[in-house]
Amino acid sequence: MHTSPSTELAPQELRAYALAGLLEPDPAVKVVMVAAMAQARPAPDPAAALQAQGAIPGRPGRPELVPPRLVGRRSMITQEGRAMLVHALAHIEFNAMNLALDALWRFPDMPPEYYTDWLQVAAEEATHYSLLVAHLDVLGHAYGDFPAHDSLWEMVDKTRGDVLARMALVPRTLEARGLDAIPPLRAKLAQAGDMAAAAILDIILRDEVGHVEIGNRWYGYLCERRGLDLRATYAELAARYEAPTLRGPFNLEARRRAGFSELELSDLPA
C-alpha cells in the first residue's frame, strides 16, 4: 500500500472539503478539488461546505445511466469497442473517486488515519480517471459519449448509514472484484495492440490493491471495536444488503496483498 498523503488539515476540515468535492458535478473541477485536498490547499470554506446543498454525488448530465445489460458490448477488434471499454472504466473510476469522498465526509468520529487513508484513495482514483479520460480522447471520444451503469454507487448509497457495512461491502467486495477483473481486461487490450490502455490498467491494479487493503484494515478495526467476528459479520452484512454474488476466477495473489486472510479466501465460491 502506498503512503497516505501528508496533510495539515484536521479531520473536520477534510470532511468539509470532501463534501464540497462530492457535490461538484463537473468531473474536471472535482479532480482539481481532490488534488488540492491532497496538497492541503483546498479553496472552499469548510463551514460553508458542510452546509452545502446538492445531489450526492455531483455528476455531469452525461453519461446516460442505464441498467448494466443495456451498456452494450465492447469488442476489442475496433477502436470504437476499445473506446467503450475505456469509457466504462473511466466511469468506474469517477464513481470510485466519489466513493472515496463520500467515505471521507459521511462518517464522523473515526481515527484521523481513516480520513488520510480515504484522501489517498480519492487522489489515486482521480488520477486513474484522468488517465483514462486522456486515453479516451486519443481514441476520439470523451467521458459521457456512451451509456454507463451505476451499480457501484448503488451500494455506496445502501451503506450510507453504517461505516462497518460500507467498509465490508464497497472496498472489500465491489472494489475487490476489480482485482479479479483487471488482469483479463488488460490481456484483451494488450492483444488488441492498445498498450497505452494496458499500462493504465497496470497502474490501476497496483493502486487498487492498496484501496482494498484500506477497506480490509478499517473493517477489521471496526469489527474488533464492536466485538464482532469478522467472517460471520461479513456474511450477515452481504445477505442483509444484498451484495452481488462473487464469481471466479479470483486473483488470489492480489487479494492476499490486499489483506484477505487464507480463511477468507477459502470462503470464496469454488
Per-residue pLDDT of 30-53, as tens digits, reads 999 999 888 876 655 655 655 666
CA–CA separation, 104 vs 16, rounded Å? 9
Residue 39 pLDDT: 85
pTM assigned to the model? 0.91
Q: How confident is the model at residue 1 (pLDDT cuts 50, 70, 90)?
A: very low
Angle between helices 11-23 and 112-138 (to 10 degrees): 30
pLDDT of 204: 98
Q: Percent of the chain having pLDDT more than 70?
A: 90
DSSP string, 58-110: ---S-SPB--GGGS----SSSHHHHHHHHHHHHHHHHHHHHHHHHHHHH--S-
Residue 169, all three cell numbers: 461491502
Domain topology for 11-266: Ferritin (1.20.1260)
Domain boundaries of the chain, sorted by first residue: 11-266
Work out the number of other CB atoms within 10 angstroms of the CB of residue 225: 9
Q: Are 39 and 119 in contact (CB under 8 A)?
A: no
Identify the band that residue 201 occupies on the pLDDT scale cut at 50, 70 and 90.
Answer: very high
Once rounded to an integer, what is the mean pLDDT over residues 89-94?
96
Q: Average pLDDT of 125-143? A: 97
**CA 160 from centre of chain:** 15
Phi and psi at residue 69, to the nearest 5°? -65, -15
Q: Helix or strand or coil: residue 117?
A: helix
Cα 252 from Cα 73, distance rounded (Å): 27
Q: What is the pLDDT of residues 219-232, one digit of tens each?
A: 999 999 999 999 99
**Using one digit for the tens of pLDDT, what is the confidence trace for 149-190?**
888 888 999 999 999 999 999 999 999 999 999 999 999 999
